[in-house]
Structure 1
Amino acid sequence: MRAPRRAPIWITGATRFAGMPRVQARIGLAVFILFLAACLTAVASPGPRPSGDQKPIATASDDSPGQTDLLLYQSIVAGVRSGSPYYAVAAETQRMGHYPLKPFFAVRLPTLAVVEAALPPLLVKLLLLGLCIGTILAWVARLRPETTGVVPLGVAGLLVVAGLYVNLDPSFVVFHEIWAGPLIALSLALRRPGHWLPAVAFGLSAMLIRETALLYVAIMAVIAWVEGERRETLGWLGAIAIFALALAAHAHAVSLVSGPLDRVSQGWSGLEGFGFYVRLATISSGLDIVPQWLASLILGTSLFGWLAWRDPIATRALIVFAAYAALISLFARSDNFYWALITTPVLLVGLVFAVDGLRDMIAAARDTRRITVTRVIR
């Protein structure tokens, strides 16, 4: 027997858990509690946290004693702005900072540094601010027909702001994830059935700034194929093909400026676990101002909310979050904390959907209705 659908609280449509059978709802609640317990492992995770008032982005890399990643990228941009070729500047700066040059993806793609070197610093900061504001407005517009009023829509907007907490700091404009994360979030917000070109364009832009955005574009291509959106699939595959050509050219350029004595990266096999991802997502968002245990519960509930929202974009977002969480849990080292910035811009928006989702699941689990069969004898 299924529980009846209740009136919406914050979202207009039914959640995935509305009318769920009682047994399934109880199992779902048990799984949710176990998931929150997994999120709480972040409390004991050895995630990076800077001392004093130093921001998390400015933490020094294990491969770069005495120099921070922030200073590295600032120096490269300054060198290109002075007129030197990007690859020559990047190679020399990374050698001086004891950074590896091998394999080739230890050197970032030139896109961001070249663009920032060609523009006035103030304009670069305004562009980042504009990207963040555009992401906020795009998600508010996307959620407006899905929410029941001003309150949930306003909360959703504030949650995007909280997710962009680090991105809104203009001192971090040289960081690649600072741009790639909002570009991916904007791509998700703009994707519609039959209207996928802007989403593909922003996805391609994210890849050309940060290679790890390839995972997002690949996921979108696979889902489009599964849903029978053949033209959209070709669009995402076309973006991957363009990125592949750019990456091949990048690999060749790096090979021309690197030598046998240059350092080799220690690899990516951190195996830090899911709690490490939760901790990184915490320090990469506005949740860094609350205790880790509370931030862990909020993040877990947010992911539950994305699962509750019955919408194709929610499915895509949840798969993207899960894929990057797995990537970070398995491969990220303690100095790769900025990887989480790819997922944080809209991660917390799931709290809006969690309100109705939890209500529906709890109501279904508590449903005690019975069917009474009365035999009529004539």
Structure 2
Amino acid sequence: MKLPAVQWLAEPTRFAAFSRSRARVVLGVLALFLLLSLTALIAIGPPAVSHDPTKRADDQSDVVLYESIVAGVQHGGPYYEVTADALRAGNYPLRPFVTFRLPGLAMTQAHLPRPVILGLLYLLVFSVFAVWAIKLRAGMTRWPPVAIGLTLLFGGLMAFVQPDLWAFHEIWAGLLVALALGIRKPGRWIEAVGIALVAMLIRETAALFALVMLATAWFEGQRREAIGWGVALACLAVALGFHAHAVGQVTTAADPASPGWTGLGGYGFFAKAMVLSTALQLFPMALAVLLFTLSLFGWAGWRDQAAGRVFLTLAAYGVALALFARPDTFYWALMVAPLSLIGLAFVPDALRDLFRQALDRRRITVTKVVR
């Protein structure tokens, strides 16, 4: 069967070559997840934000915590002692050791003027924007759909351009994950591994992204790349070992422990967390979660190696959020928020190809031959 004509994407989507039965299964799965996304309407979310500047300590308590840690280090305090005191003062848990952030970001920010920190943040945002603009232009037929994709990218970056979030670790790590996904190409992966390692040393949950990249590279037969990702993960493991030892020096058995990570919020909580982390929060929740689910579908459809890795990364963090995140840790979604909405730009082509295959009725033409 001849592949359907292309509209926005330079090539047909993955679904264009599906059999009728396989296309119908995918449509059924899409319908199921669209329904599951509506469970976000009953999922427990974080406390409402007052938007009152005088109540910033309550609305952004974690951000204020990290700002206070940077200020303590600026005044000469040892990082781990400063962090332990700040956690105790804010009634935060101090055990296990992962309740302490790795020291790299705070130590760096403590030695830089605020304008330089913001300049570096916006430079990183611009780099993500530029890299994905190039990638979208290469994968699409003309500029209008590229402009739509970049608008959606900006919607995913909405939280990342807020200057008062400069001390929040997920802001920096999420941008680095998006940049690594954008610059990685077949045969060119060293830069992506290096950027991902920096992301992991800022926020260790970026290791989930590295695991996805390792598994994908190994499955694709890219053994050297897979080893590179493994080396980066090994470096993180060593850093976490030293980190755990340092935390043990400033905590005791009497310090409060974390309530654990067994939120079990399901897909609805994941979708809700993504909405709250992007420009989708400007829409009614029911519409927003449906749009996010369609964006996931769009990423699954684009027949591009980077798109496949983005989809798997989103799926991996989706599983983590659905199973382990608590309402107050919804911000894990920031790790994948920058690229989360671009998939909507691929939905028209993906739906067209999928419906054509699902509704395909092959006919047998009988031709009478007269001798």
Q: TM-score range by the shorter chain?
A: over 0.9
Residue in structure 1 matched with residue 12 of structure 2 by the alignment: 14
Taking a change above 3 Å as real, the CA distance of residues 319 and 169 of structure 1, as seen in their structure-2 partners, is same
Distance across 2 between alignment mates of 1:59 and 1:290: 26
What's the C-alpha RMSD, in Å, of the aligned pairs? Answer: 1.8
How far does residue 17 in structure 1 lie from its aligned partner after superposition? 1.2
Return the match for 1:212 from 205, 210, 222.
205
Check whether the contact 1:11–1:148 (CA below 8 A) recurs between aligned residues: yes
Structure-2 residue corresponding to 1:64: none
Q: Distance in 1 between matches of 2:181 and 2:20?
A: 33
Q: Distance in 1 between the 2:7 and 2:42 partners? A: 35
Question: Cα distance 1:270–1:92, how it changes in 2: closer, same or farther (>3 A)?
Answer: same
Cα 1:365–1:140 change in 2 (3 A) is same
Q: Aligned residue for 2:326? A: 333
Aligned pairs (5 A) from 1:297-336: 297-336=290-329
Alignment-mate amino acid for residue 355 of structure 1: P
Residues of 1 paired with 2:115 and 2:306: CA distance?
A: 34
**1:227-238 alignment runs, 5 A limit:** 227-238=220-231
Q: Please, which of 350, 361, 370 is the counterpart of residue 357 of structure 1?
A: 350
Structure 1 counterpart of 2:322, which letter? Answer: S
Tell me, yes or no, if the aligned pair for 1:306 and 1:314 is still in contact at 8 Å: yes
Equivalence for 2:85:
92
Partner of 1:124: 117
**2-structure distance, mates of 1:119, 1:351:** 38
Name the count of aligned residue pairs.
369
Q: 1:39 aligns with which of 34, 37, 40?
A: 37
Contact persistence 1:22–1:366 (CA under 8 A): yes
Higher mean C-alpha deviation, range 153-162 or range 206-215 = 153-162
- Could you say what secondary structure the match of 1:347 adopts? coil
- 1:80·1:114 contact (CA, 8 Å) conserved in 2? yes
TM-score, length basis structure 2: 0.95
Shift of 1:354: 1.3
Structure 1 residues 49 and 161: alpha-carbon distance in aligned structure 2, compared to 1, 3 A threshold: farther
TM-score norm. by structure 1 comes to: 0.93
**Amino acid corresponding to residue 133 of structure 1 in structure 2:** F
Unmatched tracts of structure 1, length 5 or more:
62-66
> Matched residues in 2 for 1:286 and 1:272: separation?
22
User: Contact 1:60/1:335 (CA < 8 Å) preserved in 2?
Assistant: no
Deviates more, 1:311-320 or 1:130-139: 311-320
Q: Secondary structure at the match of 1:12?
A: coil
Structure 1 residue aligned with 2:21, among 23, 31, 40? 23
Tell whether the 8 Å contact from 1:101 to 1:265 is kept in structure 2 after alignment: yes
Deviations 1:195-237 (A, max 9, x none): 1011001110110000100111111111111212122112111
> Are 2:102 and 2:202, in contact at CA under 8 Å, matched by a contact in 1?
yes
> Which residue among 148, 154, 167 is the counterpart of 1:161?
154
* 1:260 alignment partner in structure 2: 253
Could you tell me how far apart the structure 2 residues matched to 1:23 and 1:250 are?
Answer: 52
Unaligned runs of 5+ in 2: none
Shift of 1:19: 4.1
Distance 1:217 1:259 in 2: 32
Secondary structure in structure 1 of the residue aligned to 2:339: helix
Q: Is the 8 A contact 2:57 2:64 kept in 1?
A: no
Range with bigger deviation, 21-30 or 179-188: 21-30
Contact kept in structure 1, 2:79 and 2:103, CA below 8 Å: yes
Aligned mate of 2:127, from 121, 129, 134: 134
1:150 is matched with which residue? 143
Match of 1:53 among 51, 54, 60: 51
Counterpart-to-counterpart distance in 1, 2:164 and 2:178:
21
Match of 1:287 in 2: 280
Deviation string, structure 1 residues 313-336 (Cα, Å, up to 9, x no partner): 121111111110010110111110
Structure 2 residue 371 is matched with structure 1 residue 373: no
Structure 2 Cα separation of the partners of residues 265 and 49 of structure 1: 19
More moved, 247-256 vs 26-35: 26-35
Distance in 1, Cα, partners of 2:261 & 2:57: 18
- Percent identity among equivalent residues? 45
Aligned equivalents of 1:59, 1:5: Cα separation in 2: 57
Moved more, 311-320 or 173-182: 311-320
1:97/1:212 CA distance change after superposition, 3 Å: same
Q: Partners of 1:377 and 1:44 in 2: how far apart?
A: 69
Contact 2:12 2:353 in 1 (8 A): no
Amino acid at match of 1:37: L
Q: Which amino acid aligns with 1:189?
A: G
Residues 1:189 and 2:187 are matched in the alignment? no
CA distance in 2, matches of 1:51, 1:159: 24
